[in-house]
Amino acid sequence: MKLLQLKNVTKQFGGLMAVDNVSFDVERGSIFGLIGPNGAGKTTIFNLITGIYKVTEGEILFEGIETNSMQPYRVAELGITRTFQNIRLFKKLTTYENILTACHYNVRYGLVDAVLRNKRFKAEEKGLLAHAEELMNIMGLEDRRDVIAGNLPYGLQRRLEIARALALRPKLLLLDEPAAGMNPDETARLMTLIKEIRDRFNLTVLVIEHHMDLIMGVCERIVVLNFGKKLAEGTAGEVQANPKVIEAYLGEEEVVVC
């Protein structure tokens, strides 16, 4: 079944077509890759899916529900959450507080319950604390529990951002260049982690990567973008063999060489 559908999605910034008539479907339970050179429009697609930007044309459906006009927090309530290319943690809060804050969504006690510290508050808060601890352990962050998030090493900050996203118990997790700044070794471990998370939490994962070879191993299906347009779609093998993709990437490599 299709979890997420993009239908002829276009996003225009002034004269710039950041996303140009892009369509693709994401199967429930899959790990789906979105790749392309810098400026191809990948992050913009994430911003459209999460409601941070509004689509210029076309529509986005999540479980058949149109999300175009929804506020970002409503999209999150539907079960879509994300990480950011330029990490956006709650920098002055600790690792634990970052995760705990995101757990809020699973309980409903109100302001008055909090002020009165009543039974409902105590019971639900206890559940939250347990959930946050559990996630921290699963993500291997327990020995950094009380470290201020802004002081964590880069790799752990990315990991914490994923942990925070998982706290929502999402159905669809969007990862924007989660391997940026990591060495090949760390990247390989991250890709294994993504698979584990998918299986453990029954997730669907949509992952952006800038380097093609890194995600070939994990993604069941890949869409290649270039200059806002969909260049190719298919399995890793199909995409790699596609002449248009080779051209786009070789073109980019030449720039690097010069």
Ligand X SMILES: Nc1ncnc2c1ncn2[C@@H]1O[C@H](COP(=O)(O)OP(=O)(O)O)[C@@H](O)[C@H]1O
104 contributes a contact to another protein by CB under 8 A: yes
246 binds another protein (CB under 8 A): no
Q: Rounded to 10 degrees, what is the CA torsion of 192, 187, 220, 173?
A: 80
Shortest reach from residue 42's CB to Mg ion, in Å: 5
Give the per-residue contact string, 5-44, with another protein (x = CB under 8 A; - = no). ----------------------------------------
Burial of residue 13, with CB atoms counted within 10 A of its CB: 0-12 exposed, 13-18 middle, 19 or more buried: exposed
Q: What does the chain come to in residues?
A: 258
How are beta strands 16-27 and 31-35 bridged, if at all?
unpaired
Q: How far apart are the first and last CA of the chain?
A: 46
240 binding another protein? (CB under 8 A): no
Q: Tell me which residues touch ligand X (CB under 6 A).
A: 13, 16, 18, 36, 38-44
Cα-based distances in Å from 238 to 220, 223, 224: 11, 11, 11
Question: What's the min distance (Å) between Cβ of 170 and ligand X?
Answer: 21
Instruction: Tell me which of ligand X, another protein, Mg ion, none is bound by residue 97, counting a contact when its beta carbon lies within the kind-specific cut-off of 5 to 8 angstroms.
Output: another protein
Backbone φ, ψ for residue 108 (5° rounding)? -130, 5
Q: Which residues bind another protein (CB under 8 A)?
A: 50, 52, 71-73, 76-77, 81-82, 84, 88-93, 97, 100-105, 107, 109, 111, 114-117, 121, 125, 128, 164-165, 167-168
